[in-house]
Amino acid sequence: MPVSGGTDASERPVFDATITPHRSLGQNGFRIVMTLVCLASVISSIPFVVLGAWPVAGFFGIDILALFVAFHVNFRHARSFERIVVTPLEIFLRKVSHHGRETVWRFNPVWTRLERQTDEDYGLLGLKLVSRGQSVAIASALSPHERSGFADALGSALSSARRGPDYNAP
């Protein structure tokens, strides 16, 4: 029975999530930090230049450059993501690395299970989708607490997808 919008109920997502790595510093914060570090370096290097130890100012510049490169690498890694879509017909997993390389997996929800690796001290350490001998790690960018909540939601969606679409729903 068609649902409004022209999509079949079996193709409607039961679960759709995109996982991105957490970054606590945005672009404005980056600008502020780099400005403050540059000012502190310039002010700190003035006495050395006045006393004739001008090479010290170059080392301050190298520190600024190293910090800039570290932030650049950090922001580049923030471009990676995972997208998981669960429908009654399939589980679609798409991982995009920080280099832009994309890998896609498709699983049948009936044959797929969620495997959890837990530690009593640290919580949920790992999460995998396992289907017919194929295993894919997921949600590695999440903290153990976030991963646990994600695993509960995904597990619920998998069991809902196994039951199939609810044709009596509006």
Nearest CA to 167 out of 4, 15, 9 is that of: 9
pLDDT 10s digits, 67-115: 999 999 988 888 899 999 999 999 999 999 989 899 999 999 989 999 9
In the DSSP assignment, the letter for residue 165 is -
Domain assignment present for 47: yes
Q: In the chain, how many domains are there?
A: 2
pLDDT at 19 over 70: yes
| Residue at a domain's end among 59, 77, 95 | 77
For residues 110 and 154, membership in a common domain is answered with yes
Check whether residue 33 and residue 84 sit in a common domain: no
Q: What does the pLDDT read at residue 9?
A: 64
| Residue 69, domain extent | 27-77
Q: Considering the domain boundaries, does residue 5 fall inside one?
A: no
pTM, 2 dp: 0.71
- The answer on 112 and 137 residing in a single domain is yes
Residue 127 bridge partners (DSSP): 116, 138
Judged against a pLDDT cut of 80, whether residue 126 lies above it is answered with yes
Same domain, 69 and 91: no
Question: What is the phi/psi pair of residue 14, to 5°?
Answer: -85, -30
Examine the domain organization and report whether 159 and 84 are in the same domain: yes
The first and second tokens of residue 96, run together, are 């995009």
Q: From CA 110, how far away is CA 12, in angstroms rounded?
A: 16
With beta carbons less than 8 A apart as the criterion, state whether 150 and 139 touch: yes
